[in-house]
Copies of this chain bind each other. A is one copy, B any other.
Amino acid sequence: MGNEQLEELRKELDEVNLQLVKLINERAKLAKEIGRVKSAQGLNRFDPVRERKMLDMISENNQGPFETSTLQHIFKQIFKASLELQEDDHRKALLV
Give residues in A with beta carbon < 8 Å to B: 2-3, 5-6, 9-10, 12-14, 16-34, 37-38, 40-41, 50, 54, 57-58, 61-66, 70-71, 73-75, 77-78, 81, 84-85
Number of copies: 2
What residues of chain B lie closer than 8 Å to A22, measured between beta carbons? 63
Please tell me if the beta carbons of A75 and B34 are within 8 angstroms of each other in the complex: no
Alpha-carbon distance between A70 and B32 when the two chains are bound, in angstroms: 15
What residues of chain B lie closer than 8 Å to A37, measured between beta carbons? 2, 5-6, 9
What residues of chain B lie closer than 8 Å to A58, measured between beta carbons? 17, 21
Please tell me if the beta carbons of B23 and A75 are within 8 angstroms of each other in the complex: no
Alpha-carbon distance between A48 and B87 when the two chains are bound, in angstroms: 34
